[in-house]
Amino acid sequence: MPFTPFYIIIYVMLKEIKKIEDLSLNAWPSHQMQVYDGWILRFSYFYTHRTNCVEQIGPSILPLEEKISYCEEIYRYWQTPCIFKISPVGSPDLDPLLEARGYEIEHDTQVMVRSLEDLSLTAHPAEPYPLTVRARTDAAWIDGLFCLKGGVSPIHRRIVPNMYAAIPKDEIAVAAYDGGTLIGTGLGILDRDTVGIYAIHVRDDYRRRGLASGIVSRILTEARKQGAAGAYLQVVSDNAPARQLYRRLGFRDSYRYYFRVRRL
């Protein structure tokens, strides 16, 4: 049957989604990973949902029920919740099976994208605080990020620096300071012709001063200088202030994913 414009649009959309899913998988390695029949089982002592979940990266041969049971055994051994990432490029049959087994939805996430073709390299938004830009994260940047996030467990303090060190792509590590105090972070990860925006954190008492906007803008500008043609980021769907900020910076909604979680 010949392609119609509708099928071409769907193909282009899924192709772009699959690209971003691949880029985001490259951008944020887990502490441990196992490959299982077209799935990757990721484990990082439940640091984040993304680094501690099952992701579908290829076609399955084994029955889904059998695979779900296997994953549950692995995560039970790891002593963390069993989490599956549900995205538009995964099997549509997986989600209802998980729901029937008592898995609940957590961290509904919106992926936003923008082109960098129209980004000006000469007109910069005002930066309310000095920003530093480095080619890689370092111990000071990671320690500052931990302070901004708060409540980081000892085991996460041990493994997370290694996860950042394992990122196999070029980086744009941005930090904001007030005097000698770190008050904001951001990380751009360059892959192919695209930059992913990660680790945007601002200290609570410095929010609503344009700092997050300045950090993201600096990452986009630096990425464009290095040849990036597009950008993506991931934001929790109910975080209306953040989504509004990113829209002001030229991002648009692309697709959503969420996690199915069961505590074993």
- The neighbouring-strand residues paired with 115 are 230
If DSSP codes are grouped into helix, strand and coil, which group holds residue 146? helix
| Residue-wise pLDDT tens digits, 93-152 | 999 999 999 999 999 999 999 999 988 876 666 677 899 999 999 999 999 999 999 878
Domain 118-228 bears CATH identifier 3.40.630.30: yes
For the chain, what are the domain ranges? 5-109, 118-228
| Residue-wise pLDDT tens digits, 146-189 | 999 987 899 999 999 999 999 999 999 999 999 989 999 999 99
Q: What predicted TM-score, i.e. pTM, was given to this entire model? A: 0.93
Compute the distance between CA of residue 83 and CA of residue 71 in angstroms, rounded to an integer: 9
Alpha carbon distances (Å) from 137 to 36, 196, 222? 31, 15, 15
For the beta carbon of residue 82, count every other beta carbon within 10 angstroms.
Answer: 24
For the beta carbon of residue 215, count every other beta carbon within 10 angstroms.
Answer: 27
Compute the distance between CA of residue 181 and CA of residue 171 in angstroms, rounded to an integer: 22
